[in-house]
Structure 1
């Protein structure tokens, strides 16, 4: 206790010069306690806290203080990760979600399929086409379609199912 009282104190204005040489040691400290991918972020948090520390009195043990700040940053990160359930996150790899290339062949096949679908909708029986268009394109619910067409909700369901069956069969060809 006597040694601490006799040690020269470091003021906040001198802090940058005192703490900068300690950052490599803090990096090693963090490397032992955190994933390697997080060390740079954690070290930056430590440096930021040291930099933004206002004049709150003298620091008698700068080495101990900077490691206490590092431990505090680790604890804060652990609490934040627990709240956000970081351990349950999965990285998004391109192999998991491949991007499809728009080749001229694929564009042509898509246009042909679209043309077949439009023609198939036109070939549907009148009432079936009307129910399907009102539901899929006008976004009406079955009850509203039934009122509009003067039929039962059950009949609307049958017309829509018939349309979906006929259109799916057209697209499979």
Structure 2
């Protein structure tokens, strides 16, 4: 089956093989077949959104954890919670404040993407961005360390930010992102003064 992607094969072997158990678990959590189906589908969608899906040690347990966390999110957002649902939610272990594994994996994936974009930048632009935004140096110290003027540092930072935003912005969101860039540029100038 050459038309299957690696993730499709992994999903079929490690996640979908436990589909009935996952659906029963979701139904036990929300006690509504339609909601249970939505939880399972959303969990599956989150799995397919992960870039490092192959690194998940226990895919079935990971999927159940996603379903559980999605159910808790739904209960918390609900305007009215039936008493039996409230009791069931109470019986679940209290969710810790740590990010869920799917969020950690997605954040890691996004961080890897940003690192790759930084590596593709021109060297001086990347150096200015790293010194200012990662090491947290003020613009004057960045300029001194790079042996350039503060306005040149700002120019490098603005170009770097625009490049990052351009590569990360989905089509149709360009206007909102441009407004963010303008606010960021103004903040940089105010901070310098």
Both structures adopt the same fold (TM-score exceeding 0.5): no
Bin the TM-score by the shorter chain: 0.3 to 0.5
Higher RCO (C-alpha 8 Å, min separation 6): 1
| TM-score of the two chains, using structure 1 as the length reference | 0.39
| TM-score of the two chains, using structure 2 as the length reference | 0.35
Greater fraction helix: 2
